[in-house]
Amino acid sequence: MNTSMLSVQGLGMQFGGLKALSDVTMDVKKGEFVGVIGPNGAGKTTFFHAISGVHVPTSGTVRIGGSELQGKSPDAFCRAGVARTFQTPRIFGDMTVLENVRFAFLFGNRIGDAGLIDKVIEETHLDGLRGEIAGALPPARQRQLEIAMALATAPRLLLLDEVAAGLTEGEVEDVARLIARLRDTYGLTVVWIEHAVRTLMKTVDRVAVLNFGQLLADGTPAEIAADPRVISAYLGDEVVE
């Protein structure tokens, strides 16, 4: 219990007649790096919404560092140490890069010193863009900015939703290396949703597979790659070959 960063039990999310998530139970230990994969519409993003307070789950419990938070507002999750990015970057488009990071620091970070602002900007390779209006940046840059903003809140649990979307394979590798490095630097627990399965499998400690709102499999990358259910549901020929 003490070593669990995120503990989800019987999580369900229903939108009208649609069951976006049903009975998902999962545990992420402190310092663990977990990848979440699954076909489109499998409920990955809904899962993130439910464990960051953006949506209130219709059933089940969400524990962050031991305390039950389901039903609480996103700022309660932030205070508990959860930071996230969104599939479509949600930055403050009218503000500059620096203002965006400062915003996250100002409200999300109660302990740190302001030096962290510059540090995370450098680490996410946004040095030259401090004064740029965030809304005018290309999507890939906005994703980097979201990571910088998340880090500025000094999180314990970092949730990344397709931060490498739309990148070439080489760039995806760069992002994976960046995340792995940030995880070491800040001692983070990371959950990463990504479609670039090959890179993800090489980077993470563990993989959870969602399908039709249910947890289909949960294990090491090697186990997942060998799991016939996963192969038939999602991976298909890509990994088999």
Partner 1 sequence: MKTFMSLVAAAGIVLAAGPWVFSDFWLSLAMTCMMYSALAVSWAMFSGTTRYLSLATSALFGLGTYTTAMAMQHLPWPLLIIAGGLVSALFALLVGAAVLHLRGTYFAVLTFGLGELVRHSITYTEKSVFGTVGRVLTEVPSNETLYWTMLALALLAIVTYKLVSASRLGMAMRGIGADEQRAATFGVNTRATKLIGFALSAWFAGAVGAAMAVRWTYIDPHSAFSPLIGFQTVLIAMIGGATTWRGPVIAAIGLSLLSDALRLNFPHAYLIILGVLLIVCVLFIPGGIASIQWKRLFGRNHGGMVAGHKEAA
**Shortest distance, position 56 Cβ to partner 1, whole Å:** 12
Q: Is 107 in the site for partner 1 (CB under 8 A)?
A: yes
With CB under 8 A as the contact rule, which of the stretches 99-107, 170-178, 192-200, 228-236 interacts with partner 1? 99-107
Cα–Cα distance between 126 and 119 in angstroms, integer?
A: 10
Cα–Cα distance between 116 and 108 in angstroms, integer?
A: 12
Q: Which of 88, 90, 125, 127 binds partner 1 (CB under 8 A)?
A: 90
With CB under 8 A as the contact rule, which of the stretches 33-41, 84-92, 169-177, 231-239 interacts with partner 1? 84-92
Q: Total binding residues for partner 1 by CB under 8 A?
A: 29
**Shortest distance, position 122 Cβ to partner 1, whole Å:** 18
Q: How far is CA 199 from CA 95, 108, 206, in A?
A: 33, 30, 13
**Shortest distance, position 98 Cβ to partner 1, whole Å:** 12
With CB under 8 A as the contact rule, which of the stretches 61-69, 100-108, 118-126, 206-214 interacts with partner 1? 100-108
- By C-beta, is 49 or 206 nearer to partner 1? 49
Q: Is 127 in the site for partner 1 (CB under 8 A)?
A: no
Q: Which two tokens stand for residue 131?
A: 């004064």
- By C-beta, is 104 or 190 nearer to partner 1? 104
Please choose, from the candidates 37, 38, 46, 36, the residue with its C-alpha nearest in 3D space to the C-alpha of residue 15: 46
Q: Is 83 in the site for partner 1 (CB under 8 A)?
A: yes
N-to-C CA span, the chain? 40
Site mask for partner 1 (CB under 8 A), range 16-55, x = bound: ------------------------------------xxx-
Q: Is 115 in the site for partner 1 (CB under 8 A)?
A: no
**Shortest distance, position 234 Cβ to partner 1, whole Å:** 29
Q: How far is CA 99 from CA 109, 112, 121, 145, in A?
A: 15, 17, 11, 11
Q: How far is CA 110 from CA 63, 89, 154, 156, in A?
A: 21, 24, 9, 13
Cα–Cα distance between 40 and 151 in angstroms, integer?
A: 27
Q: Is 77 in the site for partner 1 (CB under 8 A)?
A: yes
CA dihedral 19, 20, 26, 30 (to 10 degrees): -150
Cα–Cα distance between 96 and 136 in angstroms, integer?
A: 9
Cα–Cα distance between 208 and 188 in angstroms, integer?
A: 18
Q: Is 234 in the site for partner 1 (CB under 8 A)?
A: no
Interface residue list for partner 1 (CB under 8 A): 52-54, 73-75, 77-79, 83-84, 86, 90-95, 103-104, 106-109, 128, 131-132, 149, 153
